[in-house]
Structure 1
Amino acid sequence: MSKEEIYPPPRSGLTKRSFLVLMFSLLAFTPAVIWHYLATGSTFRIGWVTFFLFAEILAFFGMPPTSAEGVVLVTISGQLKMLFLIFTTFIYREYYLHSPVAKMFNTVPHIPDWWVAKSPEVWMTRTFLHPDWLIPLSIGIGFNLLTLLSDIMMGLLTRELYIEVEKLPFPMQHVTADGIIALTERPKERMRILTLGINLGVIYSAILYGIPIITELFGFEALSVAPIPWWDLSENIHNFLPGAAMGIATSLLVFMTGMVISFNVVVGIFASSLAIHVIGNHLLVKYGWTQFSKEWYHGMKIRTSLSRSWMYAWMGPFIGASLAASIMPIIHHRRYLSTAIKSLTKVRKDARERVLSLSWILAIWTLSVVASILVVYMLVPGYPIWMMLIISYGWSFIWTLLTARAVGETGMSLEAPALLPIAKSLYVSMTGYKGLDIWFIDPVISTGGSQWCANFKVCQLAGCSMRSYIKTYVLGYPLAVIFAFIFTQIFWSIAPMPSSAFPSTNIYWPLQAVTQSMWMTGKVFTGFPIEHILGAFVLVAALYWIAQITHLPLPITTIPVGMATPVPIAISTLIGGIIGKIMAKKYGEQWRKARTTLTAGATLGTAVTITFLLSIVLIAKSLRLLPY
């Protein structure tokens, strides 16, 4: 638990100018984000760029923005960004329907018309403006809204538990808040540190990302100063540690994350990652355990090693470790949960802000879950309701508790999508259901509650009211969906997907189609003994109680977080942590106050540089598509 802090009084972040800037951001960045995703398979940060431009323009005219306005622009722009891609998923569905992969796996007859528009006219004319799209689009957007409701409710619940009652530190949210406050209040010393961080981020990013981008644009082979995202050193150690993965991440922000979060957390994540990806993988190969030992070869890259070892060996232990990391702190600190529930059920007499009472949180969450289950049951009537209730309620609750605590303690979250295919295969097989139609839909499973909880912490630190924060998101949501629809349709009209005009779709969509088909038809090995889950649960639970009895500073969430962290990121985070310890020893409290602002500056500098570089790429690539 962190020491008591004094927070600024909450103010509304929803003002005329902040909403206008948010609209401009959505209009300006939606096509850029969509195109970049279709070209590279990734997205980029827009929140910091939007706020930086907004803050500098208003400061020039003597009307600096408030920190509350900064919160909604930095965080909500980033959250809404994922909506930009919602319609590209529908185009992928259309591709899958007509792909040779689906025909090869004989899944085409099982594809329902509520999942994708089946008219050949849609594929030929490349349009969403067809009546066959009405049901698939309605279900897709409707489930997105239900998931949003569930995520917000889970965020409010974990906010009360981890922010108001248990008071976890949330180290990376301090970075965001410090950057926002520095750009709005502009205290001289903090601005000096922020500027230093910005320059550091700009220079580092220009070298790491700019050189290969610019050289490739001029027709040369891309010249890289350092590989992205990491140096893969695995082959160097395979002679004496076969199976192990090894590398160093090259992103500046990974190093700086290690400087900000607690060194105990850094060490815990490193130890857990090392135990799995280096020692564990080596033992798998040495003793011939699991299918991974048969598929491994000398020189196997980190990406392949990660995916294969997780599929065949580590998913079961990860589930067990995650369950223990979620449940044990609640059992041990059950009074925190009790206090949080009581706090949500009472009339609050202090100055802390509340959005909804516990009864409303549970009612809205239940509404979203039950509504989604009823729709799934109507579409897939043979699938048992009891399993949907367990997954929709149980998964949402346990996953949110785990990830919100992980963010609060370590500053790092866990990515749910990597776990979903194996988890779905597991719970579908438990029901005995044989149909493939259930693979095309799920009831609401909340995995975004921790992100809302983290952003509520930024609201607290920077003085933004949660009501205005949620209102801004709700107002921005339909705009993001509308802009995404318009620009996705425009890009689809320009060229087919997949095609060379959108390289990412050419590379990743066929692979995604193969993976999807293999999971659906049971061609992917998913079996792992239940003993792996139980053994990991018992081991992590025992480590937790040992740490509590001996007062070892071991945050239990570092175990599943470290297991899910690629070893290059864990190593670079450790390097950053060691540098931070050296700086703290040399500069003491001065460094501890400056490190979050410095990291915020580096984040801003990196975001601005990458956005600028991608703008150049976007213009150059667009010119190549012109007919002259």
Structure 2
Amino acid sequence: MPAIGVDAELEEYRQLMEAPTEFEEGFTAKTIVGALFIAFIFLPGSIYLWLVAGHTLGAAAQWVTVILFVEVARRSFMVLRRQEVYLLVYVAAALIGTNPFQGFIWNVYLRTSHVTKGLGIADEIPTWIVPVANSPAIIHRTFIHRDWLIPIAIMLFGNTVGRIKGFSFGYFLFRLTSDYERLPFPMAPVGALSATALAEITTKEETWRWRLFSIGAMIGLAWGIFYVGIPTLTGALMSRPLQLIKIPFIDLTHNTQNVLPATPTGIGTDLGAFLYGFVAPFWSVTGGFLAAVMVMILNPILYYKGILRQWRHGMDTIQTQTVNHYDFWLSASIGVSLAVATIGLVTVITSAIKARGQLGEHERERGSWAPRPGRGDFPLPIILSAYVLASLAYIYLAHTLVPHFYLWFL
């Protein structure tokens, strides 16, 4: 039983995986071969699937790669250690999630879309984002053209600096939240337990983790056959793909627009989002549900008040979301983000002031900033310096591209 004053749900997450007491190197030749396999085999397939169905292979590429290497290792009488398996999963997630050219395709749509032309912003998009509409690069649908040199160069610079920022400040937050504050990470045990299950079977010790992993894989496989497999195969043979299950959601806006005007409604068909609800903390799911209900209540009110001016009867979910975003929710989301940031800072500062001195009777003990022996921690001053330098590089680039923008706001 958890101690008095401790959240039982958070303690349950903490106890799913025990904290390691020793650390081993996971970056080996096996993980390098696995990363190359993902880059040359799964990444092109993920890009094609995104263009066809609007979804990427995502986690499938990670786990298929890991399962493949696990089976090869078993038949080669080799053992993949837990560190190697988890690092391979992490590298797979980073590679599959890195496809910046998807953004260029979206930018071309913004340049040529009737929606943006109707709003009068299509011609206002700078050429360092996307070439002009009559450029041969857009007409012939190719990235191999000099008009794409500046956008691609900016993309490469942004990705490099972004990686530095993400790693440096992410590592600092890891040390803060995991080592010092000892906060739970609800989704972390999911990936860790899956990697542990795959590592265990290489030692011929199949536990309950492998059984649950296999059940989940079969559920996903069965769903994927109907969700992605049939549309992909029929799309290659027929003029229109056969979708037994609508991708990515079932649009109900046309059915509810008389009762809920200017309100996008639908049923999501992504199995991953559904299963996520079983893992996410209760109050996280509750907050998402209340936010959805609030939108369903506010949108009709805003429409009748004349704030959502661009919405018209007959618009589908995507069109409704687009016009509502420009009319109200873009500015509202900025305000909410600033409010949440302010409340968070005030709460942290207040809690820090109250926590100074002796810990409360039922308050959990905090961790330490001291590096763990053998874990390969980086010095925090170097990490924070890298983040500051990367941020300054971003600011310099933004100021160079948009010189009249307020520098203090960057």
Same fold? TM cut 0.5: yes
320, 324, 331: which one pairs with 1:305?
Answer: 320
What root-mean-square deviation, in Å, do the aligned CA atoms of Structure 1 and Structure 2 show? Answer: 4.0
The residue number in structure 2 matching 1:426 is none
The residue number in structure 1 matching 2:305 is 288
> Is 1:200 equivalent to 2:213 in the alignment?
no
Unpaired runs of 5+ in structure 1? 340-345, 389-628
Unpaired runs of 5+ in structure 2? 1-6, 356-367
Residues 378 and 54 of structure 1: CA distance in aligned 2, closer, same or farther (over 3 Å): same
Query: Secondary structure of the residue that 2:79 maps to in structure 1?
Result: coil
The residue number in structure 1 matching 2:360 is none
* Cα displacement string for residues 581-623 of structure 1 (whole angstroms, at most 9, x for unaligned residues): xxxxxxxxxxxxxxxxxxxxxxxxxxxxxxxxxxxxxxxxxxx
How far 1:125 sits from its partner (Å)?
A: 9.4
Query: Secondary structure of the residue that 1:291 maps to in structure 2?
Result: coil
How far 1:117 sits from its partner (Å)?
A: 11
| Structure having the larger proportion of residues in helix | 1
Residues 100 and 264 of structure 1: CA distance in aligned 2, closer, same or farther (over 3 Å): closer
How far 1:95 sits from its partner (Å)?
A: 9.8
How far 1:161 sits from its partner (Å)?
A: 3.0
Aligned residues: 377
Contact 1:47–1:74 (8 Å) recurs in 2: yes
Contact 1:97–1:111 (8 Å) recurs in 2: no
Letter in 1 for 2:38: S
The residue number in structure 1 matching 2:28 is 15
CA distance in 2, matches of 1:330, 1:106: 36
Contact 2:251–2:267 (8 Å) recurs in 1: yes
Between the aligned residues of both structures, percent identity stands at: 27
The residue number in structure 1 matching 2:252 is 233
How far 1:100 sits from its partner (Å)?
A: 11
The residue number in structure 2 matching 1:31 is 44
Contact 1:34–1:85 (8 Å) recurs in 2: no
Residues 167 and 305 of structure 1: CA distance in aligned 2, closer, same or farther (over 3 Å): farther
How far 1:82 sits from its partner (Å)?
A: 4.0
How far 1:235 sits from its partner (Å)?
A: 3.4
CA distance in 1, matches of 2:129, 2:254: 47
How is 1:220-619 mapped onto 2 (pairs within 5 angstroms)? 222-276=241-295, 278-285=296-303, 287-292=304-309, 295-297=311-313, 299-334=314-349, 348=370, 350-351=372-373, 353=375, 355-388=377-410
Residues 375 and 272 of structure 1: CA distance in aligned 2, closer, same or farther (over 3 Å): closer
Residues 315 and 165 of structure 1: CA distance in aligned 2, closer, same or farther (over 3 Å): farther
Contact 2:110–2:122 (8 Å) recurs in 1: no
CA distance in 1, matches of 2:145, 2:30: 37
Contact 2:137–2:143 (8 Å) recurs in 1: yes
Give the TM-score, by structure 2 length: 0.76
Letter in 2 for 1:296: R
* Cα displacement string for residues 147-183 of structure 1 (whole angstroms, at most 9, x for unaligned residues): 2111112212221233233333322222111111111
The residue number in structure 1 matching 2:172 is 157
How far 1:279 sits from its partner (Å)?
A: 1.0
CA distance in 2, matches of 1:124, 1:296: 32
Contact 1:183–1:191 (8 Å) recurs in 2: yes
How far 1:108 sits from its partner (Å)?
A: 7.2
Letter in 2 for 1:197: G
CA distance in 1, matches of 2:29, 2:393: 35
How far 1:249 sits from its partner (Å)?
A: 1.6
Residues 214 and 57 of structure 1: CA distance in aligned 2, closer, same or farther (over 3 Å): same
How far 1:270 sits from its partner (Å)?
A: 0.4
CA distance in 2, matches of 1:203, 1:335: 50
CA distance in 1, matches of 2:47, 2:79: 31
Residues 202 and 35 of structure 1: CA distance in aligned 2, closer, same or farther (over 3 Å): closer
How far 1:52 sits from its partner (Å)?
A: 1.8
CA distance in 1, matches of 2:259, 2:115: 40
Contact 2:277–2:285 (8 Å) recurs in 1: yes
Residues 232 and 352 of structure 1: CA distance in aligned 2, closer, same or farther (over 3 Å): farther
